[in-house]
């Protein structure tokens, strides 16, 4: 059975036995917060548990590294929509130790892409056209610096309301311990 079949089979049972009932809530976050974190598998349940976030408590955005790489990209848009349309009042950027994006070099990704049959001439053509594939694929050196950088991106955004605290934290992916990097109440 494929993964997709397994998921669909489970889903039939999940819905027919009304297991969804305990998750029912609204689209507005009870704790009025929007959190950006990493897609790391270890954080799926650990992060909300360690932060006492239940279904309905927060808007959670995830990507590789909890990174905001562009002020007008989809992550920043999601944060703004959460703040303006979905009643979030605070932002938390939560990176983590041992992140796959720490020390990631584009060279490693591009080498793998080449062995997977990607046309590398096309990639070189993109570079020629001014698309910086190298920095697009690059991670960060230190998670604390990356979190600080993302907090700054949000704080400096021209569409950010003045009264929104933006916090920066780093979570330990085994213990769930949070290290405070930036206290957004102290602006």
Is residue 140 a contact point for Zn ion (CB under 5 A)? Answer: no
- In the complex with Zn ion, which residue's Cβ is closer, 98 or 161? 98
Residue 187: CB minimum distance to Zn ion, A? 27
Residue 161: CB minimum distance to Zn ion, A? 28
Say whether 99 counts as a known binding-site residue. Answer: yes
- If one counts every other C-beta atom within 10 angstroms of the C-beta of residue 43, the result is 21
- In the complex with Zn ion, which residue's Cβ is closer, 36 or 38? 38
CA dist 94 → 16, 120, 131 (Å)? 36, 35, 28
Is residue 40 a contact point for Zn ion (CB under 5 A)? Answer: yes
Q: Residue 122 and residue 81: Cα distance in Å, rounded?
A: 35
Q: List 168's β-bridge partners, or say none.
A: 93, 182
Site for Zn ion in 73-112 (CB under 5 A): 99
> Is there a contact between 52 and 107 (Cβ–Cβ < 8 Å)?
no
Q: Residue 171 and residue 173: Cα distance in Å, rounded?
A: 6
In the set 35, 36, 38, 92, which binds Zn ion (CB under 5 A)? 38
- In the complex with Zn ion, which residue's Cβ is closer, 35 or 164? 35
Q: Which residues contact 121 (CB under 8 A, 6 or more apart)?
A: none
- In the complex with Zn ion, which residue's Cβ is closer, 127 or 174? 174
Question: What does the binding site for Zn ion look like in residue numbers (CB under 5 A)?
Answer: 38, 40, 99
């Amino acid at each position: 059975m494929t993964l997709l079949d397994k998921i669909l089979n489970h889903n039939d049972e999940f819905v027919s036995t009304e297991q969804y009932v305990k998750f029912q809530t609204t689209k507005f976050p009870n704790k009025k917060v929007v959190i950006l974190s990493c897609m790391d598998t270890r954080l799926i349940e650990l992060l909300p548990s360690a932060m006492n976030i239940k279904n309905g408590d927060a808007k959670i955005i995830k990507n590789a590294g909890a990174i905001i790489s562009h002020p007008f990209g989809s992550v920043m848009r999601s944060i703004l929509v959460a703040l303006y349309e979905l009643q979030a009042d605070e932002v938390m950027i939560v990176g983590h130790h041992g992140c796959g994006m720490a020390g990631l070099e584009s060279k490693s990704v591009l080498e793998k892409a080449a062995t997977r049959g990607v046309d590398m001439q096309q990639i070189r053509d993109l570079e020629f056209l001014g698309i910086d594939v190298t920095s697009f694929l690059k991670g960060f050196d230190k998670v604390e610096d990356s979190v600080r950088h993302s907090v700054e991106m949000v704080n400096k955004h021209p569409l950010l309301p003045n009264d929104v605290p933006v916090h920066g934290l780093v979570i330990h992916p085994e213990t769930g311990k949070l290290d405070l990097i930036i206290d957004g109440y102290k602006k």
